[in-house]
């Protein structure tokens, strides 16, 4: 279980540092989960669910930061907003 958590954290770190794409990140997270499943004790399901929820939140946070950064870049470039 600890290996799964560490692997997913490392994958999310690589994504946040732009070392892998979002698609590669999701693929890596899926592969980590698939590798865990055969060894999973049913008692660990709540912990796995918690990790999956945290991974989802982390992805959303990273996406939100990138979107904010892109908007800020457009503002600095003097682009005209499409909506007022």
Average pLDDT in the 13-22 region?
95
Question: How confident is the model over 24-81, as pLDDT tens digits?
Answer: 999 999 999 999 999 999 999 999 999 999 999 999 999 888 777 666 555 555 554 4
Full-prediction pTM beyond 0.85?
Answer: no
Diameter of the chain by CA atoms? Answer: 55
Q: Which domain holds residue 64?
A: 2-75
CA dist 7 and 32 (Å) reads: 7
Q: Is residue 17 part of a domain?
A: yes
CA dist 7 and 28 (Å) reads: 9
Q: Is residue 39 part of a domain?
A: yes
Task: Supply the pLDDT for residue 66.
Answer: 77
70, 41 contact by CB (below 8 A): no
Domains held by the chain: number: 1
Give the phi and the psi of residue 59 in degrees, each rounded to 5: -60, -45
Q: Is residue 21 part of a domain?
A: yes
Q: Is residue 13 part of a domain?
A: yes
Q: Which two tokens stand for residue 50?
A: 């918690």
Q: Is residue 80 part of a domain?
A: no
Cα angle 35-40-42, degrees, rounded to a multiple of 5: 150
């Amino acid at each position: 279980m600890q290996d799964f958590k560490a692997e997913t954290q490392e994958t999310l770190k690589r994504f946040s540092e732009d070392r892998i794409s979002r698609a590669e990140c999701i693929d890596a997270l899926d592969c980590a989960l698939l590798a865990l499943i055969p060894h999973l004790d049913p008692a660990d399901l709540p912990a796995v669910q918690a990790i999956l929820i945290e991974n989802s939140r982390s992805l959303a946070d990273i996406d939100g930061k990138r979107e904010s950064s892109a908007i800020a870049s457009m503002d600095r470039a003097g682009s005209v907003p499409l909506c007022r």
